[in-house]
A = this chain, B = another copy of it.
């Protein structure tokens, strides 16, 4: 009998931020295909005799093919992905490959880094009277700086660290104030979390020593970190 596939979001990093259903599917699977950034404690939650595959060396097409082959061998497969499968998670591509192959699947959403990682640094991405709109971009994709600079509210860039000089200059050249508060959060929600806050004009220099994975947050909500981040540290 053909197995099934669960596309499961593992959350932003901290292993306790997986969902109850996600952990339940993981504990019952025959095989887990996992992203490098997923916590090893989560991969360990799969049954001891489950097949474990680090997808790191594989191209997306190869991952798609692997999921299909494992399911056709009769295995119930968890595809364990950082964050949420459908927010820069390429879950749509895997889902289409499974549809094409006639394999039944289910998507188990996860906590995206989008709000969780800024939140762990004391930054609410929306806040009454400050921001009621969020624009999310992928640092690897094409960026329309004129449109981004004109968008009100908060800007969040996934995988934006490597392009931070270009991003900040592009926004300022198209009208965003150089004094706009900005933050970079590396390894968000993990013990290794590091946060740098600086005005947009200086954020690239200030964050030069941070390493990926990192999330970039730009907008007035960042200024709330001064009040909220200290208390979060006390409570942690």
Which B residue's beta carbon lies closest to that of A135?
A: B135
Residues on B with C-beta less than 8 A from A93 are 127-128
Tell which of B9, B85, B110, B127 touches A92, judged by Cβ atoms closer than 8 Å: B127
The 5 closest A-B pairs by CB, nearest first: A92-B124, A132-B141, A109-B116, A16-B21, A86-B124
Which B residue's beta carbon lies closest to that of A103?
A: B231
Known: A126-B86, A126-B87, A228-B92. A147 touches B136 (CB 8 A): no
- A90 vs B96: C-alpha distance when bound (angstroms): 36
> Which A residues lie at the B interface, using CB under 8 A?
4, 9, 11-12, 14, 16-21, 23-24, 84-93, 95-96, 98-99, 104-112, 114-116, 118-120, 123-128, 132-138, 140-142, 144, 147, 150-152, 189, 221, 224, 227-228, 231-232, 234-236
18 contacts between A and B (CB under 8 A): A16-B20, A17-B19, A17-B109, A18-B19, A19-B111, A90-B128, A92-B228, A95-B124, A105-B232, A106-B236, A107-B119, A109-B120, A111-B111, A132-B138, A132-B142, A135-B135, A135-B136, A135-B151
* Residue among A84, A92, A127 having the largest count of chain B Cβ atoms under 10 Å: A92
